[in-house]
Structure 1
Amino acid sequence: MEEPVPSQDTMLRDTEPSNTIKLLHLLFLSTSWGMQIWVTFVAGFVMGTHLPRHTFGLIQRKLFPYYFHILSACAFLNLTLFAMHLPSEVLRKEQATQIIIFFVCVAASVLNTQWFGRVTSEMVADMHLIESSHGLGQEVGLLASKSHRQLCASNPKYQQLCQQFSLYHTLSSICNLCCIACNGLSLYHLAAQLSAL
């Protein structure tokens, strides 16, 4: 006698994650989302407009490795938890899209952790040494002063560091914004699954 083939709904119910897994998934997603919004749109602007440039740079150099590592860990754990509880034989398009979004978030955050963010921090430290030797760095605000522009024009090494910093900072910012977009889409996906608040 032939065994009945389980329906797609039955398989989905059998693989539904426990409340603990759902809680962990939500915890990792909300942690990374909250950190990203705070660091990117609040703390960075407030510190950048109220602290001396070198103080702001020092705080970022000390803070960003933790920030990038925590984001990478949360992104990896979100991908793992989500993928573990989905049967591949009945993967719907929205679930496959969600896995791709988590994977992109992991890739972007790891790039930032291992490369762009680290190199940017190293360049800032080198720039600060040159600026300090010329009596610069205690100005408040992120905009380059006339003295910084003159130093850039007169010191080829500093000019090269500024150009490289601009490139790597842009790439790091793009990775960070990509992770914010991915986590925003993931939150939208979760909100769409809620039947009630």
Structure 2
Amino acid sequence: MKGLVPIQDAMASDTEPSNAIKLLHLLFLSTSWGMQIWVTFVAGFVMSRHLPRHTFGSIQRELFPYYFHISSTCAFLNLTLFAMSHPSERLGSEHKAQIIIFLVCIAASVLNTQCFGRVASDLVAELQRLESSHGLGQELGLAAHEPRRRLRASDPSYGRLARRFALHHALSSLCNLLCIVCNGLSLHHLAGQLSAL
């Protein structure tokens, strides 16, 4: 019969997210991805080479809380929109993998927001105070390494502080890279669903 829609087609259209949900999902994912790529691979490198170290550190201390909170919010909203559009009784393995990717992204973002990123910012402020008291902090780029190495050798408390910062900065960077990978995988999943550009 002409007027009847096959049962499978009717079920697919019942679970198909609206264009508004698709747009919001794409908006949050692309905002997060674009911001992460810009901050990680462009802004940080440019500023570190062209600004005095303490100016660069101060800018990052001011920007990073916003960056981490926006990343966390986008990750949470992406998971929420995806879960709303995919009822649990109809989840395939690809959908479950996508939900796990969103959960990992949320966990890494929240760790950065609440722990590693916050502690690293606090440690930078302490390092800057110590460096300023020794006349350091206005060096550009690689010129800062040698004076700081000498300060680490002569001041054990500065050395301990620098090691703590290096650890928290590395963990924060790892969380950030994990979020970039998760968002990249999510974009790959979305690209696979496109029938045309």
Instruction: State TM-score, norm by structure 2.
Output: 0.94
Distance 1:53 1:9, change over 3 A: same
Q: Give distance in 1, aligned partners of 2:52 and 2:8.
A: 60
- Is this contact kept in 2: 1:33–1:180, CA < 8 A? yes
Q: Give distance in 1, aligned partners of 2:104 and 2:151.
A: 39
Higher helix fraction (1 or 2): 2
Q: Name the residue aligned to 1:119.
A: 119
* SS across alignment from 1:145: helix
Distance 1:143 1:77, change over 3 A: farther
Q: Give distance in 1, aligned partners of 2:8 and 2:163.
A: 55
Q: Give distance in 2, aligned partners of 1:180 and 1:159.
A: 31
- Is this contact kept in 1: 2:68–2:112, CA < 8 A? yes
Amino acid in structure 1 at the alignment position of 2:171:
L
- Is this contact kept in 1: 2:53–2:144, CA < 8 A? no
Distance 1:7 1:101, change over 3 A: farther
- Is this contact kept in 2: 1:8–1:90, CA < 8 A? no
Distance 1:143 1:191, change over 3 A: farther
By how many angstroms is 1:87 displaced? 1.5
Within-5 A mapping of 1:121-140: 121-140=121-140
Amino acid in structure 1 at the alignment position of 2:41:
F
Q: What per-residue deviation string (whole Å, max 9, x for no partner) do you get for residues 31-82 of structure 1?
A: 0000000000000000001110000000000000000000000000000000
Q: What per-residue deviation string (whole Å, max 9, x for no partner) do you get for residues 70-112 of structure 1?
A: 0000000000000111121111111111000011000000000
Within-5 A mapping of 1:11-160: 11-142=11-142, 144-160=144-160
Q: Give distance in 2, aligned partners of 1:7 and 1:93.
A: 22
Amino acid in structure 2 at the alignment position of 1:81:
L
State the Cα RMSD in Å. Answer: 1.4
Structure 1 unaligned blocks of 5 or more: 1-5
Structure 2 unaligned blocks of 5 or more: 1-5
By how many angstroms is 1:145 displaced? 2.8
Q: Give distance in 2, aligned partners of 1:7 and 1:25.
A: 28
By how many angstroms is 1:150 displaced? 1.3
Q: Give distance in 2, aligned partners of 1:26 and 1:142.
A: 39
Q: Name the residue aligned to 2:195.
A: 195
Q: Name the residue aligned to 2:3.
A: none
By how many angstroms is 1:148 displaced? 1.0
* SS across alignment from 2:141: coil
Q: Give distance in 2, aligned partners of 1:164 and 1:143.
A: 22
Instruction: State TM-score, norm by structure 1.
Output: 0.94
Instruction: Indicate the percent of aligned positions where both proteins have the same amino acid.
Output: 72
By how many angstroms is 1:140 displaced? 0.3
1:162 aligns with 2:166: no
- Is this contact kept in 2: 1:53–1:142, CA < 8 A? no
- Is this contact kept in 2: 1:53–1:140, CA < 8 A? yes
- Bigger drift between 117-126 and 85-94 goes to 85-94
- Is this contact kept in 2: 1:127–1:158, CA < 8 A? yes
